[in-house]
Structure formats: structure tokens, C-alpha cells
């Protein structure tokens, strides 16, 4: 099976402020805020939801294509994709900057982020292919029009897909979200997103699950819950070797979901594959700096969950 991973590609510029923001922001002066933070530590990472999911799926041995719009500055990311053996077949370059996130973190892990969508706003210029052997898809955070159109295109092509709104969820009203749910086969959310989706649609999480095949709700270190076939399946959180950086853990988890679905695993196993992927990611900085062998993953899975894949 081959997955089409629709979503963003982005550069993440991450800066670390070796102090606390609160010491430099005067609460009674926030109406005229003008502050500067000296950030001696800086790194640039390759990110974006589609890029992250594709990277993690490749580690698991799954076949996938990322589909997104990128800018004229994409060359370093393109070289990284080539180095990793990740396809650029469905990436479209447009006359804009690649999406960029500028993140400043203080010693308490508070963050100030500025995000420029850039090329991501052109995502609707890509179309889900019908003749590329795609057997499964995911609609992850991207340009608003692109997400709407790609969901319709997957459904029209008869390709089952995951709806993963992520940080793009606030762009949609209740009718949009209900439509996404009804078109999709599976819905993936974190607990905050699940609450927002229910509030905007007026549906309970059980009612959402009745409109598709399964709803997956993650809760970080508390594990995740899968609502499928009238059952509520509790998935334990895998234990990380370290907690370094949670950025991209959700994308790693979703790659695990895709891999489980592609290999006809039951939900208990699919959820555990996804959980272990998140635990591996959180032990490394950035979103695409972790690596493992398939045999190593299988060994760790057995040690973590007491049965073999």
C-alpha cells in the first residue's frame, strides 16, 4: 500500500532564550510591548506536518508520498529529502517563501512563535492523483482551501483517508468540520482539538465516531484513546528514554497510525505502534533527527508492550 500525505513543509527556526520571558515583560505595559531577547542558541530544522509524517513513515518501512507546496528557497530541504530517500514527486514549487516558523523558547519552555504560511497558502493548486497507486491518504494541516479540496478529492477517488486538522482546526466552522468527518474514514485529534471539534460541531466524541470508522484522541504522556466499532480502546503511552522536545510527536504518532492501517493491524497494535513512535521522537530535538532500524523498533515494541509485532 502507498500513502499520500497531504500537508505542510516548513522551515523551523528555533531560538533559545536562557532566561524567563516573565522577567522581561511588564504586565501593566503589554499594551505597548517592545522587547528584545538575546538568543545565543539557534538552530534551523526541517519540519511541516507532511514532511514530518513522511519522514517517520519511511523509518517504519512504509511507502508514502508527501504532497505540498514549497517555495523558491526549498533547496536545502529538497537535498535532505533526497538524502533520506523521500520522494518529491508531488511537491509543487510556487513563487513564494516556503512556510516558516520562528520559535523562541525560554527556560520554562514557554514559547513565542511567529508563523509565515508562504507557499502553504497555495496548497489548493495540488490535486490528489487518481493514477499513482495511492491506497490511503491523510489530510493534515495545510492551506485552508487545500485541506477542503483534498478531502473531497480523496472521497471522490474512493481513497480512504485520515482527517488530521491539528493546528489548522480553528480555520473551520462547525459545518466544515462535520463535512470533513463525514468524508473521512478516520479522524485524529489531540485532546484539546477533540474538545474544540465537539464544541464547533455540536457533536459528542461518540457521535463523531459514529460518522466515520474511528476517532483517535491523543493525550500526550497520558496515552491515547481510540473510538472504533462502538468500542473505546485505551492505548498506554510508551515510555521515552528522555524528554527533550515534544515538537513533532503528533506527526510521529500519525505515521504510526498510517503504518498500522497500511498493514491491517488491529487498533490495539496500531495505537501502540503510534505511541512508541511518539516516545522515540520526544527523546530527540527537532522533528526529523531521530532514527532507528526496523529490527530495533520491533525489539523495543516487544520490550514495551510484551508481545511481538
Exposed/middle/buried for 38, CB within 10 Å: 0-12, 13-18, 19+? exposed
Phi/psi at 148 (5° precision): -60, -45
Closest listed residue to residue 80, CA positions, set 115, 55, 48, 43: 55
Sequence-ordered list of residues with C-beta below 8 angstroms from that of 92, at least 6 positions apart, any chain: 68, 69, 70, 122, 125, 126
Q: Note the pTM of the prediction, 2 decimals.
A: 0.94
C-alpha cell at 163: 482527517
Residue 119: predicted pLDDT? 98
| Per-residue DSSP letter, 95 | S
Exposed/middle/buried for 231, CB within 10 Å: 0-12, 13-18, 19+? exposed
Closest listed residue to residue 165, CA positions, set 183, 153, 177: 177
CA distances in angstroms from 3 to 11, 16, 22, 165, listed in the order given: 23, 36, 44, 17
Alpha-carbon torsion angle 60, 63, 65, 66, nearest 10: -10
**C-beta separation of 67 from 4 below 8 A:** yes
Residue 47: predicted pLDDT? 96
Flag residues of the chain having pLDDT under 70. none
Summarize pLDDT for 260-293 with one digit per residue, the tens: 999 999 999 999 999 999 999 999 999 999 999 9
Residue 28: predicted pLDDT? 85
Amino acid at each position: 500500500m502507498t500513502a499520500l500525505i497531504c500537508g505542510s513543509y516548513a522551515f523551523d527556526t528555533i531560538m533559545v532564550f536562557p532566561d524567563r520571558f516573565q522577567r522581561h515583560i511588564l504586565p501593566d505595559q503589554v499594551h505597548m510591548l517592545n522587547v528584545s531577547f538575546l538568543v545565543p542558541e539557534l538552530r534551523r530544522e526541517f519540519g511541516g506536518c507532511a514532511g514530518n509524517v513522511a519522514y517517520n513513515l519511511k523509518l517504519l518501512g512504509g511507502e508514502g508520498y508527501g504532497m505540498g507546496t514549497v517555495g523558491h528557497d526549498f533547496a536545502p530541504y529538497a537535498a535532505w529529502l533526497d538524502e533520506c530517500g523521500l520522494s518529491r514527486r508531488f511537491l509543487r514549487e510556487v513563487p513564494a517563501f516556503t512556510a516558516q516558523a520562528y520559535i523562541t523558547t525560554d527556560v520554562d519552555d514557554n514559547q513565542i512563535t511567529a508563523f509565515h504560511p508562504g507557499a502553504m497558502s497555495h496548497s489548493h493548486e495540488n490535486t490528489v492523483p487518481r493514477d499513482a497507486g495511492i491506497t490511503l491518504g491523510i489530510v493534515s494541516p495545510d492551506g485552508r482551501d487545500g485541506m477542503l479540496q483534498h478531502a473531497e478529492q480523496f472521497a471522490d477517488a474512493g481513497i480512504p483517508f485520515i482527517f488530521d486538522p491539528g493546528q489548522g482546526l480553528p480555520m473551520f466552522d462547525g459545518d466544515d468540520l462535520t463535512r470533513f468527518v463525514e468524508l473521512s474514514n478516520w479522524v485524529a485529534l489531540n485532546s484539546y482539538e477533540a474538545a474544540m471539534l465537539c464544541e464547533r460541531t455540536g457533536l459528542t466524541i461518540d457521535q463523531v465516531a459514529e460518522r466515520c470508522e474511528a476517532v483517535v484522541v491523543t493525550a500526550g504522556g497520558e496515552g491515547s484513546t481510540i473510538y472504533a466499532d462502538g468500542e473505546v480502546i485505551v492505548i498506554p503511552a510508551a515510555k521515552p528514554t528522555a524528554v527533550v522536545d515534544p515538537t513533532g510527536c503528533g506527526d510521529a504518532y500519525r505515521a504510526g497510525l498510517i503504518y498500522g492501517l497500511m498493514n491491517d493491524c488491529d487498533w490495539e497494535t496500531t495505537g501502540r505502534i503510534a505511541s512508541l513512535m511518539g516516545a522515540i521522537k520526544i527523546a530527540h530535538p527537532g522533528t526529523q533527527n531521530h532514527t532507528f532500524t526496523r529490527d530495533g523498533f520491533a525489539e523495543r515494541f516487544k520490550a514495551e508492550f510484551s508481545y511481538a509485532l
